Amino acid sequence: MGAILYDIAMISPLKLMCVLAHPDDESLGMGGILAKYSSEGVETHLITATRREKGRFGNAKESPGMDIVAKMREADLYAAAKE
């Protein structure tokens, strides 16, 4: 059985999908693993359940609002994924 799976993997390109709750979880958890396999040519995808718009951003009086925080977190995620 193992040989069959190995042969299929050699024919099909390898893919890796990481499903996370929030942007930045990939950096805090398995960022090195994702970077390693991506650099080796493995097609790598990140999916987050939220944009972390309700996350902390300084103190409440300084927060620019949930929509802007969400866009910032999303931009951070794209930047981290490119590196």
pTM: 0.64
Residue pLDDT, tens place only, 33-51: 998 999 999 999 989 888 7
Q: What is the pLDDT of residue 3?
A: 58
pLDDT at 17: 93
Helix (H) or strand (E) holding 47: strand 43-48
Mean pLDDT by 10 residues, the chain (83 residues): 58 88 82 90 90 68 78 84 75
- Check residue 65 and give its pLDDT: 78
> Virtual CA dihedral for 81, 54, 56, 60, nearest 10 degrees?
140
Q: Give residues with Cβ within 8 angstroms of 7, minimum separation 6.
A: none
For residue 33, give Cα distances in angstroms to 16, 30, 37, 43.
10, 5, 6, 13
- 42 neighbors 16 (Cβ within 8 angstroms): yes
